[in-house]
Each structure stands twice: as structure tokens, then as C-alpha cells.
Amino acid sequence: MSSSLLTSSIDLLETGPEAAAAGPARWLAEHRDEIRARVAEHGAVRVRGLGLTDRAAAGAAIRAVLGEPMTEREGFAPRESYGQGIYSSSEWPPDQPMCMHNELSYAVEFPGLMAFACLTAPTDGGVTALADTRAVLADLPAQLVARFETTGWKLTRGYNPLVGVDWKKAFGTGDTDAVERYCEQHAILATWDIYGGLNTSQRRAAVVHHPVTGDRCWFNQIAFLNEWTMAPEVREFLIAEFGPEGLPFNTFYGDGEPLDRETVDLINEVYEKHTLREPWQTGDLMVVDNIRMAHSREPYRGDRDIAVGLGAPTTLADCRPTVPPAAA
């Protein structure tokens, strides 16, 4: 399908005084079907005028739209838990971007929907931008897509206390046997180093079919978690500290061949071509189809407080992946 026929947008739904009178959570529960229909049509919807300014109200609003949120496992960046499946946005240096990605696309179970509630909008920047993964897939070179469809993509991780999250927080347990069972059940190769550190490797499909529409989607974190997307000084420091094989995360073709800088840059450039931006306003709620839309976080200045919920649990098997998940 030509990318010119793909018409995702960030739909804007402005509430009236009845939302304030009813309360955000009650109003959202009453309009849940409409909101989900707008997400199905546009890929994302921004609800404005709810007046969400505290975490309790944000959590109730997110649950009203998503139902009971998922508990995150295998997270790659620290988050603060706000309770009952509601989290802060990922802790990431404010002067560095979080590039386009689909949340938990390296897991065998991931959120089909996400909700973001803006409790404090930054003074400058900090947009949670979106990109239609169908359009991105259509604009990537056919030869590159064919290779990823055939081999999938490989993710390696080295959990350490200096960068990202340690394995206890990522897997929600300090029991090494429980971690090994989880990895075995979720097609992840897990090895331990002599210091008790965990290293993992997993192969996943880079292209999946949307479980509702059947559309082919570029669903992965190939560019975001690759070494060439890191700031040069960060990459140099991490390689000097841990060696090229000990980076906290890196991505490859599914057959293990490294990606070159040109390929990673190309993927990010195609994402940028299809990026949609809508600045946050305090009190906004944005609901996103996590398979159809990749998201990013742009650099910012000032305070920024975004509450996040992951919902509509979906498995790779639901999405007819082009390659099966495997412990790489």
C-alpha cells in the first residue's frame, strides 16, 4: 500500500463543561467507546480539557480508558511506579531524545494501547511525537524490509546498575531461578556473569500484522536501542567501560549481523518523515494504538510530569509475526 493512502493523525477531542462536572474518570468511562473508535480511525486521540493535575486523578482516568493496566516487565529505562499499573514516563536525560519505538516490542506480550496523562507540561519541547508504522514500513527500502522480514531483529542486553534498570527491577524479582523461568517461557537466552550480572539475547519479528485490521506494521525498537543512535560521547564511554559486547542494549539483524550507522540513520530519517507532533498542555490525555503508531520523546526544558498506562495486552502470536520469537 502506498504511504500516501495512509492517513493517521493525532485526533483532538475537546471536552465541554460536563467533563469537569462529572469528573475526568467518570466522563472518560462514559465516552470510552467513542475514544477507542477514534483511536481505531486515527491511530491516536488527544483528549483536552479534563484538567488532570494529580497522579491519583491521572491513574483513575487511564484505567477508565484502558481497563486494568499491564504490569511492565523487561523495561529498559527506570520508571517510578504510581501504583496499580500506572507509571512515570521513562527516566531519560532531558537533553537527549528518546527515538521512535513501539513500547515493549521486544517482548512476547506487549500493550496494544497506551495512555499518557500530562500532569505538568514542559516549558519548551518534550513532545510525545508519533509515527504511523504502516507508512514507515511502506517508505523503507524494499530490500531492507525483506531482510528484516526474513531474519527478524535481535536484541542483546547487559543489565547493570550504572545504565538503565538492573535485572531485579526489570523482571520484578530478585530470584535468579524465577528470572530464568521467565526467560525460558518468553524465548529469551539468559546468561549470568561471574559478578551476578545478567545478559540476555532474543530474536523478534520486525514486521507484524495488526491484530484488528491486518495491516503490516514496522513494529520494533531496532533503531532506538542500537548503538549508533546513542550520543557519540555516551557510546564511547559505554564501550570504554563495558567493551563492545557489554553495552546495556544493542540491536542486530536477526541472524546476528551488526547494523551499520547508515542503516540506522536511514530508519530514523524515515520515522522523521512521518512524525506527527502536538505539544503537551497540562491536563491532556493521549491514547495511542501501540502497534500502529510508534512514539518518541523529544528533548525539553523545565519540569515535565507524564503518567503512563499500558493496556490491552497483546501477544506476538496475535499479530502473525514474520518470524517466530526465539532465544537468539
Stated length of the chain? 328
Report the alpha-carbon distance of residue 59 to residue 43 in Å, rounded. Answer: 22
| φ/ψ bin of 321: left (φ > 0), alpha (ψ from -120 to 50), beta (otherwise) | beta
**Cα angle vertex 221, ends 105, 249, to 5°?**
105
What is the dihedral angle through the alpha carbons of 142, 262, 104, 9, rounded to the nearest 10 degrees? -60
On whether the CB atoms of residues 215 and 134 are closer than 8 A, the answer is yes
For the chain, list the domains and their CATH numbers.
Answer: 7-92+100-132+276-319 (3.60.130.10), 136-266 (3.60.130.10)
DSSP for 238-307?
Answer: HHHHH-TT--SEEEEETTSPBPPHHHHHHHHHHHHHTEE-----TT-EEEEETTTEEEEE--EES--EEE
- Write the pLDDT tens digit of every residue in 105-131: 999 999 999 999 999 999 999 999 999
- The distance from CA 57 to its chain's CA centroid, rounded to whole angstroms, is 23
**What is the full per-residue pLDDT of the chain (328 aa) written as tens digits?**
444 456 577 899 999 888 877 899 999 999 999 999 999 999 999 999 999 989 999 999 999 999 999 999 999 888 999 988 899 999 888 998 999 999 999 999 999 999 999 999 999 999 999 999 999 999 999 999 999 999 999 999 999 767 778 999 999 999 999 999 999 999 999 999 888 889 999 999 999 999 999 999 999 999 999 999 988 888 888 888 888 777 889 999 999 999 999 999 999 999 999 999 999 999 999 999 999 999 999 999 999 999 999 999 999 999 999 999 999 8
